């Protein structure tokens, strides 16, 4: 990965974007794609649509990636200045005690810590259970009157950690779900723009509010109305201790991007994704999805009269924690796979199952 690309990846990962507050990442996407896309628009939901016009005889394609990350929201400020909070998206209470967080207040970012009674003061029976969010507080280290001046109910918080390389070809950060997808989508559009190869009209839909019900994907799919769409997200790596592969599949970091298969996926789109990976020499993995998926694909497929939909993912360890882990080679492989898929769509392409 080139250093300029890595800096962009770090920038979008560390830009705060809890669900409903995606504007900082949206601004980075608009800035990055402003010179490559034919048009860049932002809808009333906050989703960014960057379109590269192409051959109208070829199928139009949308690549959907979500900009939002999980986080926390202030629900109450005590007289002493401690913050009570609720989860924004699927936050695991078990990982919070001892965490540092950033409170995104109107006047700027404030550092806080998640406080809990020390183990010495917790009753023996209570030590065996996870402390619920309702029993945790955020400590800003400030007097109560100063906190009430700086912070309002409804302010959001993110985990106070960022991007770092570690090990051999691995990276760790909060919010790889799904801001690595945002990075990949931007790279795909740039490659298509620079290649000079024929392709249909291609739109990157950087969507909002996926973590609370794929809400941005619902409106983006309806508004763009592509002939074929790909959702890109992360999926659970199962290559570390304690994961039942017979139940969750054998998905490995470093094994390549993951192509989903199941009723949420158009069978022609699935086969074309596999063919694109093999044509590009990209290692890939398969994942069974026997029902609707927990991704933008679930909403895109049933938009309007139905949209031929596929799902590609990057394997991710420790999802929805402050230490999400990916293999950077999988990210690069996804860029190559998705670019080739779009390039291979031609006038004869059909997505009707059985035809």
Nearest to 223 by CA among 69, 45, 96, 102: 45
What is d(CA 169, CA 254) in angstroms, rounded to the nearest whole number? 9
Query: What angle (nearest 5°) sits at the alpha carbon of residue 317, between those of residues 316 and 323?
Result: 105
Question: CB within 8 A of 20, min separation 6: which ones?
Answer: 68, 88, 156, 208, 209, 212
Question: CB within 8 A of 40, min separation 6: which ones?
Answer: 29, 30, 33, 34, 48, 49, 50, 51
Q: Walk across the sheet containing 170-173 and list its strands.
A: 164-166, 170-173, 324-327
Radius of gyration from C-alpha coordinates of the chain:
21
What is d(CA 17, CA 69) in angstroms, rounded to the nearest whole number? 6
What is d(CA 215, CA 295) in angstroms, rounded to the nearest whole number? 11
Beta strands 308-316 and 228-236 are parallel
- 22 annotated active-site: no
Instruction: Give me the catalytic one of 210, 211, 287, 289.
Output: 210
Where on the phi/psi map is residue 89: left (φ > 0), alpha (ψ -120 to 50), or beta? left
Could you give the residue numbers annotated as active site?
A: 210
């Amino acid at each position: 990965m080139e250093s300029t690309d890595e800096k962009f990846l770090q920038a979008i990962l560390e830009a705060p974007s809890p669900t409903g507050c995606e504007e900082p990442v949206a601004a980075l996407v608009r800035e990055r794609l402003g010179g490559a896309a034919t048009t860049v628009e932002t809808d009333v939901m906050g989703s960014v649509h960057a379109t590269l016009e192409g051959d109208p005889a070829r199928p139009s394609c949308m690549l959907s990636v979500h900009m939002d990350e999980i986080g926390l929201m202030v629900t109450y400020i005590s007289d002493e200045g401690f913050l009570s909070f609720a989860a924004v998206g699927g936050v695991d209470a078990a990982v919070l005690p001892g965490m540092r967080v950033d409170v995104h207040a109107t006047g700027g970012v404030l550092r806080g810590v998640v406080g809990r009674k020390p183990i010495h003061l917790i009753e023996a029976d209570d030590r065996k259970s996870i402390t619920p969010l309702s029993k945790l507080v955020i400590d800003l280290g400030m007097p109560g009157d100063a906190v009430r001046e700086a912070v309002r109910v409804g302010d959001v918080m993110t985990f106070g950690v960022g991007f770092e390389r570690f090990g051999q070809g691995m990276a760790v950060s909060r919010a790889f779900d799904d801001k690595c997808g945002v990075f990949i989508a931007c790279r795909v559009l740039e490659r298509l723009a620079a290649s000079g190869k024929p392709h249909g009209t291609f739109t990157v839909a950087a969507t909002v509010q996926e973590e609370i019900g794929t809400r941005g994907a619902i409106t983006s799919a309806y508004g763009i109305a592509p002939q074929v769409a790909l959702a890109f997200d992360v999926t659970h790596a199962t290559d570390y201790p304690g994961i039942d592969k017979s139940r969750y599949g054998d998905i490995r970091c470093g094994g390549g991007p993951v192509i989903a298969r199941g009723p949420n996926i158009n069978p022609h789109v699935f086969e074309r994704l596999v063919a694109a990976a093999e044509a590009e020499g990209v290692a890939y993995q398969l994942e069974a999805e026997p029902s609707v998926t927990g991704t933008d694909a679930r909403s895109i497929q049933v938009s309007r009269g139905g949209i031929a939909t596929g799902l590609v993912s990057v394997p991710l360890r420790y999802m929805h924690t402050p230490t999400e882990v990916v293999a950077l080679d999988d990210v690069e492989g996804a860029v190559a796979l998705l670019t080739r898929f779009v390039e291979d769509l031609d006038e004869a392409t059909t997505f009707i199952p059985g035809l």
